[in-house]
Amino acid sequence: MSSSTDRAIQIEGLMKSYGSLKAVDRISFYVKKGQIFTLLGPNGAGKTTTVEILEGLKEADAGRIEFFGRKVDRIAGKEKEDIGVLLQKNSYIEKVKVKEMIKMFSSFYKKSLPVHEILEKVALKDKENSYVENLSGGQQQRLSIGLALINDPKILYLDEPTTGLDPQARRNLWDLIEALKSDGKTIFLTTHYMDEAEKLSDYVYIMDQGRIIADGTPEELIDNLGQENVIDFARNGLEDPEFSRLKELYPRIKSNPEEISVYVQDLSTALPDLINWAETADFKLDNLKIRRPNLEDVFLELTGKGLRD
Amino acid sequence: MLAIKNIFLKHLRKQLRDRYSIFWNLAFPLVLLTILALIFGGQTGQDISFDISIVMPETSQEISASDFAYAGIIDEVINNIEGSEDSRWFQFYQQKSDQSAEEFFSQEKNLLEAGDRHLILKIPEGSLPDPGLIAIYRRPGSQLSNIAADVMTGIISEINREINIAEGNVSRDQLLTTTSRQIDITAANGAERSFSVTEYLVPGIILFTFLISGVEILVGRISSMRSRGILKRYFATPLKPIQYFAGILSFIIVLSAVQVLLIYSWSSFIFDISLNIFNLNFILYMIFALIVSVSLGFMVLSLVKSRESVGVVTNALTYPMAFLSGIFFEVSGLTGILGLIVALNPMTYLVNGMRDMLGIYPSPTSELLNLAVPLIWMAGSIAISLMKFSWNPGGES
Amino acid sequence: MIKQYLTNTKILSLAFLRNKETVFYVLVLPLLFMLIFGSLYSNGEGQQQARVLLYFEETAAVDRTEIEEVINANQSMSYQHIDSLEVGEQLLRDYEAEILLRVSETELEFSFNPARIQDNPALEQQSRAIARELDMRYYGLEEYLQTEIIDAGDHAGTSQFLSLFPGLIALGLASSGLFVIVELFIYYREKGVLKRMAASPLNRNSFTFALISSRMPASLLSTALILLASRFIFNVSFTINWFLFIPYILIGTVIMMGLGALITLFTTTSDSGFQAASILLTVMIFFSGIYFPIEFLPSYFQQVSRFLPLTYLARGLQQIMGVSPLNPASLAVETGGLFILSIVLIYAVSQKSSWVAE
């Protein structure tokens, strides 16, 4: 159980509505210092609204915010000195060079790291004289992270940091985020990628339709499913009555038009049963995969829909 | 054909949905024509009136022309002007009987500097035969003031002549009268007509819209689609570049035709001019002018790859081509580099040709040059485009 | 705060000057217009010789040599004899000459090409000067009443030509300042640039002030280029009141920003804002009297110029550059009033505008 002294952020009963739409519906959570907390959920869950309130870009309609043990009405200039932000979409003034942009953002804070240190941290030293708009997608994202680190913040908000990046760039960014955690930074991550949440997070809050519907470490959330293994295979147009037979065999089953996932405790019995069923039903088991359950499965269990739906 | 039609409709819809495009491409040429016709027409027109202050010298005696005092002479001249049909040109202001000359002069000088007067004449004391000096105060920044000064100087010259005749220095028969006139414009077909500023402007404005369509609109749209990867997407389908080109060119032709009709209708309705733009030769020449403009546009697209540079280059081309061609006003007096640009500019010859064909103004350049120079530009532009132009799918733009 | 302001001003100034469109509209275009209109109006000043065609009828009362002497005495004219009126008129139509003088037994008839709208007033003046000179020389007429033209104010000269340069400087200020408020409060907000900065403790007023300041180097550079070019190309120099001139350039840029702020109050998208600013700039070019004398427009059109800041800016610069007499009171009232109004408008827009689009 964590005490309030080791909490970077604590919110209680946070609310934000847009007309009749409750984007954030009385949520409460805390973020421990020096850990990576992830807010996981599909698009439209309210993640970005939540994090923008914590970044000081929006004001909550109701709720209580504690910032490093200090109660605040809203996140204002004083708190922003200790916050680093990576927005979902980062845009900059054109015709400004990389090092100039870093200098400009440095000037926004009372204390900031040297420009060369930021450039080295995000591996953009060789691009310091390039215009920001001429950087590749991955380079621009690294610059954005550099700008988020400029004031050596106590807490970093990373909103969907790897969206749109190629796999290599994603992995590079994960490495950077883990390095930042090693430096003692508190990181609040929002993402709809379950592999990202699993890989990086110390603690996960799952959000849907403005509410926190589950929380725990990734392992805890997956273990709570109560299933050790998942068998995936291509649906191949399987319908009733064979599909019903399959469901009798495996009560924990999820499906979509392309794929069927079967959740089982014991593979040694489940797999032969499946093969027998397939033979009987004259069904071809294509793309057969066996895996551990993941957060996507957790989300599916909780909401009946996928993270990417 | 369907593809061409769809490309054409796409550009047409874009034009019609954007109110700013409607303003710049359809309304602005009419606004420009109107303003220039009013400004230049006003300079040659009949609506000018000069506000002139006459500061008479202070004298204890009532002035009279029979005393041969200059004040009296001027006073009589002013009365004559005010009593004649020339009075519509002048509004004279004189000091009140209880006002001193200096006070009145000071007051009028302030009005002159404020723009409420065009001229002040300070009439000297004295009388014939002693010489007298009339100080004419003008506002140098005002063209009307300069014209007023010139007119009054002319009137005073006439007064001198009359005085010389009255003094017996010369007889009226001996003196030559001085007159001025404007020559008539003899059109290509030999018909004489008097000069009309609006008629003079109409072909220029039409050519200006063609220049904008070919060099700015066409270039802007293709460059934008090139840089955003839209053309790349199109050409990943069976759509051929020639079909795309045909579609966008159809739009340019229709836009130009609408502009010509609007300009013609506006000038006919508002300025009551009549020009025969529907004759076949003129229509063919207009199409030629449009093709020259479009080919210039393609040349720009061929040579300038960067989206950012395209806008700058088209403006850098359009402004000098428009202003250094005679489209808006006569530029024959320019020398040096500017004169050279006028001489090389295809728009110079196109607008001369258009005016000549409509019988507005005989072309100062030969018919051969009016065809050859634009043709050379067109051929050169097409040659460069064939060598260098790239739809650039996924390219630099 | 000062360091923040200075850093931002420097970087934003560099960014502005690196933009090719800035370079064109703020620096190149005024120079281009100066070359074109300066050449056109300077011709009307008699800088180029007027070519006079002389046609003497057989019964011409005046001797050829008399007229040739009069024309030669006038250094802004040259002459050429022609054999027929038709040839002379054709030469006029072809712009090969400016004046056709027919000398007959009883009259001197001067003919002009009506298409020379800009030049004809000066040409008619020169023709009358010929006639007057002939009167004096040939007939020995006494000039009882002499005339002396005095230009009101300190500057002895003209006209549309000299007024052009202050007008072009004013135009450079308009190009520099008109679009910046739309850019800041609409374009940058649409793109999300402001949102990113709002997540920092940046002082918004400081940033607005820095952005406004960043346009000043461009205004000063544009002004310097026009002054240099006018000196070297047209050999024109001005008696500039430098004490007033530099502040006026800065104030003028802010006044144009105020106009941009007014646009921002009525537009919601950057596209509309930029387009509206372009239209306003075009209206100002035509109705402020910089390129074309508006005194020939109907009075209801002339009234439009009273509502255009560019008119007052150009007028103020004319005074400060010695082209027209300096009237400190009206300068202070007009400029001061516009400046205060601009500050109020910019402040109003900055308070009203959110940096985070909902």
DSSP string computed for A180-218: HHHTT-EEEEEES-HHHHHHH-SEEEEEETTEEEEEE-H
| Whether C80 and C210 share a structural domain | no
Query: In the listed set C139, C173, C199, which residue is the last one of a domain according to the structure?
Result: C139
Task: Give me the CATH number covering residue C72.
Answer: 3.40.190
Q: Spell out the SS3 assignment of B143-211.
A: HHHHHHHHHHHHHHHHHHHHHHHHCCCCCCCCCCEEEEEECCEECCCCCEECCCHHHHHHHHHHHHHHH
Per-residue confidence (pLDDT) for residue C43, from 0 to 100: 58
pLDDT level of residue B378 (50, 70, 90 thresholds): very high
pLDDT level of residue B394 (50, 70, 90 thresholds): very low
pLDDT level of residue C158 (50, 70, 90 thresholds): very low
Lowest mean pLDDT among B39-43, B207-211, B251-255, C73-77: B39-43
Domain membership of residue C3 (yes or no) is: no
Give the pLDDT mean for C219-235: 91
Does residue C88 carry a pLDDT above 50? yes
Distance CA C92, CA C101 (A): 11
Of B346, B335, B352, B345, residue with least CA distance to B375: B346
Cα distances (Å, whole numbers) of residue A6 to A34, A196, B13: 9, 25, 61
Pairing label, strands A203-208, A36-40: parallel
Distance CA B195, CA B184 (A): 7
Per-residue confidence (pLDDT) for residue A10, from 0 to 100: 92
Domain membership of residue C179 (yes or no) is: yes
Q: Assess C233–B contact: CB distance below 8 Å, yes or no.
A: no
Best mutation site among A104, A112, A131 for testing chain C: the one with the most C CBs within 10 Å? A104
Distance CA B208, CA B210 (A): 5
Distance from CA of C200 to the nearest CA of B (A): 31
Best mutation site among A54, A95, A115, A129 for testing chain C: the one with the most C CBs within 10 Å? A95
**Cα angle A15-A20-A22, degrees, rounded to a multiple of 5:** 30
Give the pLDDT mean for A156-160: 92
Domain membership of residue C92 (yes or no) is: yes
Give chains near A: 3+ CB pairs under 8 A: C
Those of residues 182-211 in B touching chain C at CB distance below 8 A are 182-183, 185-186, 194-195, 197, 200
Q: Could you give phi then psi for residue C47, rounded to 5 degrees? A: -75, -20
Per-residue confidence (pLDDT) for residue C326, from 0 to 100: 84
Q: What is the pLDDT of residues B315-335, one digit of tens each?
A: 889 989 999 999 988 888 788
Percentage with pLDDT > 70 across chain B: 92
Q: What is the pLDDT of residues A188-199, one digit of tens each?
A: 999 888 889 999
Does residue A125 carry a pLDDT above 90? yes
Please, which residues have CB within 8 angstroms of residue A309's CB and are 6 or more apart in sequence?
A42
Please, which residues have CB within 8 angstroms of residue A50's CB and are 6 or more apart in sequence?
A14, A16, A24, A27, A39, A190, A207
On whether the CB atoms of residues A208 and A42 are closer than 8 A, the answer is yes
Give the pLDDT mean for B331-346: 89
Q: Could you give phi then psi for residue A233, rounded to 5 degrees? A: -155, 160
> B257 is written with which tokens?
């035709």
pLDDT level of residue B66 (50, 70, 90 thresholds): low
The residue behind tokens 């609007």 is B262
Does residue B189 carry a pLDDT above 80? no
Give the pLDDT mean for C276-302: 81
Percentage with pLDDT > 90 across chain A: 50
Pairwise pLDDT comparison (A302 vs B105), residue with the higher score: B105
Q: How far apart are the first and last CA of chain C?
A: 29
Query: In the listed set C82, C108, C139, which residue is the last one of a domain according to the structure?
Result: C139
What sign for the dihedral angle of Cα B243, B248, B249, B250?
positive
Distance from CA of B179 to the nearest CA of C (A): 5
Domain membership of residue C152 (yes or no) is: no
On whether the CB atoms of residues A144 and A132 are closer than 8 A, the answer is no
Q: Could you give phi then psi for residue B69, rounded to 5 degrees? A: -70, 140
On whether the CB atoms of residues B361 and B275 are closer than 8 A, the answer is no
| Whether C37 and C130 share a structural domain | no
Best mutation site among C117, C162, C294 for testing chain B: the one with the most B CBs within 10 Å? C117
Domain membership of residue C327 (yes or no) is: yes
Distance CA C79, CA C97 (A): 9
Fold assignment, B49-180: D-Maltodextrin-Binding Protein; domain 2 (3.40.190)
Does residue B63 carry a pLDDT above 60? no
> C210 is written with which tokens?
């820095």
The minimal CB distance from C200 to the residues A78, A80, A96 is found for: A80
On whether the CB atoms of residues C287 and C304 are closer than 8 A, the answer is yes
Contacts of B129 in chain C (CB under 8 A): 142, 144
Domain membership of residue C280 (yes or no) is: yes
Cβ of C198 and A95 within 8 Å?
A: no
DSSP, collapsed to helix, strand or coil, labels residue B282 as: helix
| Range of A282-286, C73-77, C244-248 with top mean pLDDT | C244-248
> What domains lie within chain A, and their CATH numbers?
4-222 (3.40.50.300), 227-292 (3.30.70.980)
Chain A residue with Cα closest to C8: A104
Q: Assess A96–C contact: CB distance below 8 Å, yes or no.
A: yes
Per-residue confidence (pLDDT) for residue C153, from 0 to 100: 60
Does residue A2 carry a pLDDT above 70? no
> A122 is written with which tokens?
């995000």
Give the pLDDT mean for A114-136: 93
pLDDT level of residue C155 (50, 70, 90 thresholds): very low
Per-residue confidence (pLDDT) for residue B47, from 0 to 100: 65
The minimal CB distance from C199 to the residues A80, A92, A104 is found for: A80
Give the pLDDT mean for C78-91: 91
Does residue C169 carry a pLDDT above 80? yes
Contacts of C153 in chain B (CB under 8 A): 113, 139-140
**Cα angle B207-B210-B216, degrees, rounded to a multiple of 5:** 130
The residue behind tokens 């009273």 is C306
Q: Assess C327–B contact: CB distance below 8 Å, yes or no.
A: yes
The residue behind tokens 């009506």 is C114
Best mutation site among C295, C302, C317 for testing chain B: the one with the most B CBs within 10 Å? C295
On whether the CB atoms of residues B203 and B351 are closer than 8 A, the answer is yes
pLDDT level of residue B366 (50, 70, 90 thresholds): very high
Best mutation site among B155, B332, B365, B366 for testing chain C: the one with the most C CBs within 10 Å? B332
Cβ of C40 and B329 within 8 Å?
A: yes
Q: Assess B68–C contact: CB distance below 8 Å, yes or no.
A: no
Q: Assess C20–A contact: CB distance below 8 Å, yes or no.
A: no
What does the radius of gyration of chain A's CA atoms come to, in whole angstroms? 23
On whether the CB atoms of residues C166 and C326 are closer than 8 A, the answer is no
Please, which residues have CB within 8 angstroms of residue C154's CB and are 6 or more apart in sequence?
C239, C322, C325
Q: What is the pLDDT of residues B260-280, one digit of tens each?
A: 999 999 999 999 888 888 889
Cβ of A95 and C8 within 8 Å?
A: no
Cβ of A56 and C16 within 8 Å?
A: no
pLDDT level of residue C159 (50, 70, 90 thresholds): low
Of B84, B50, B59, residue with least CA distance to B153: B50
Cβ of C14 and A96 within 8 Å?
A: yes
Q: What is the mean pLDDT of chain C?
A: 86
Give the pLDDT mean for C45-56: 78
Cα distances (Å, whole numbers) of residue A243 to A227, A239, A246, C260: 21, 5, 5, 67
Q: Assess A92–C contact: CB distance below 8 Å, yes or no.
A: yes
CA torsion, points B283, B287, B288, B290, in degrees to nearest 10? 140
Does residue B45 carry a pLDDT above 80? no
Which helix (H) or strand (E) segment holds residue A231: the answer is strand A229-234
Chain C residue with Cα closest to B165: C141
Per-residue confidence (pLDDT) for residue B191, from 0 to 100: 60
Chain A residue with Cα closest to C192: A91
Per-residue confidence (pLDDT) for residue B172, from 0 to 100: 80
Distance from CA of C69 to the nearest CA of B (A): 18
Q: How far apart are the first and last CA of chain B?
A: 28
Of C210, C253, C205, residue with least CA distance to C9: C210
A280-294: b (≥16 Cβ within 10 Å) or e: eeebeeeeeeeeebb
**Structural domain range at position C120:** 49-139
| Whether C107 and C250 share a structural domain | no
Pairing label, strands C99-103, C107-112: antiparallel
**Polymer length of chain A:** 309
Contacts of C18 in chain A (CB under 8 A): 95
The minimal CB distance from B136 to the residues C100, C109, C150 is found for: C150
Pairwise pLDDT comparison (C291 vs B208), residue with the higher score: B208
Does residue B125 carry a pLDDT above 90? no
Domain membership of residue C114 (yes or no) is: yes
Percentage with pLDDT > 70 across chain C: 96
Contacts of A91 in chain C (CB under 8 A): 191-193, 195-196
Distance CA B170, CA B173 (A): 8
ipTM here: 0.84
Lowest mean pLDDT among A112-126, A201-215, B121-135, B137-151: B137-151
On whether the CB atoms of residues A88 and C11 are closer than 8 A, the answer is no
Q: What is the pLDDT of residues A10-69, one digit of tens each?
A: 999 999 999 888 999 999 999 999 999 999 888 888 998 999 999 999 999 999 999 998
On whether the CB atoms of residues B228 and B310 are closer than 8 A, the answer is no
Those of residues 188-217 in C touching chain A at CB distance below 8 A are 188, 191-193, 195-203
Domain ranges for chain B, please list them. 2-42+193-388, 49-180
Distance from CA of A73 to the nearest CA of C (A): 16
Does residue C150 carry a pLDDT above 60? yes
Give the pLDDT mean for C140-158: 73
Contacts of A96 in chain C (CB under 8 A): 11, 14-15
Q: What is the pLDDT of residues A227-251, one digit of tens each?
A: 778 999 999 888 888 888 888 888 8
The minimal CB distance from C11 to the residues A81, A91, A96 is found for: A96
Give the pLDDT mean for C88-92: 91
Please, which residues have CB within 8 angstroms of residue B210's CB and are 6 or more apart in sequence?
B256, B286, B289, B290, B293
Q: How many C-beta atoms lie closer than 10 Å to residue A94's C-beta?
A: 15
Does residue B259 carry a pLDDT above 90? yes
Q: What is the pLDDT of residues C175-209, one digit of tens each?
A: 888 888 888 889 999 889 999 999 999 988 899 99
Those of residues 273-302 in C touching chain B at CB distance below 8 A are 275, 279, 282, 286, 292-298, 301
Chain C residue with Cα closest to B323: C36
Distance from CA of C175 to the nearest CA of B (A): 14
Does residue C1 carry a pLDDT above 50? yes
The residues that bridge with A285 in the sheet, in sequence order, are none
Pairwise pLDDT comparison (C42 vs B216), residue with the higher score: B216
Domain membership of residue C145 (yes or no) is: no
Number of domains chain C is built from: 2
> A192 is written with which tokens?
């709809």
Q: Spell out the SS3 assignment of chain B.
A: CHHHHHHHHHHHHHHHHCHHHHHHHHHHHHHHHHHHHHHHHHHHCCCCCEEEEEECCCCCCCCCHHHCEHHHHHHHHHHHHHCCHHHHHEEEEECCCCCCHHHHHHHHHHHHHHCCCCEEEECCCCECCCCEEEEEEECCCCHHHHHHHHHHHHHHHHHHHHHHHHCCCCCCCCCCEEEEEECCEECCCCCEECCCHHHHHHHHHHHHHHHHHHHHHHHHHHHHHHHCCHHHHHHCCCCCHHHHHHHHHHHHHHHHHHHHHHHHHHHHHHHCCCCCCCCHHHHHHHHHHHHHHHHHHHHHHHHCCCHHHHHHHHHHHHHHHHHCCCCCCCCCCCCHHHHHHHHHCHHHHHHHHHHHHCCCCCCCCCHHHHHHHHHHHHHHHHHHHHHHCCCCCCCCC
Cβ of B164 and C142 within 8 Å?
A: yes
Cβ of C12 and A93 within 8 Å?
A: yes
Tell me the HSE value of C151 on the side-chain side, using a 13 A CA sphere.
16
Distance from CA of B7 to the nearest CA of C (A): 24
Pairwise pLDDT comparison (A94 vs A1), residue with the higher score: A94
The residue behind tokens 């090719």 is C20
Q: What is the mean pLDDT of chain B?
A: 86
Per-residue confidence (pLDDT) for residue A147, from 0 to 100: 95
Does residue C335 carry a pLDDT above 50? yes
Q: Assess A156–C contact: CB distance below 8 Å, yes or no.
A: no
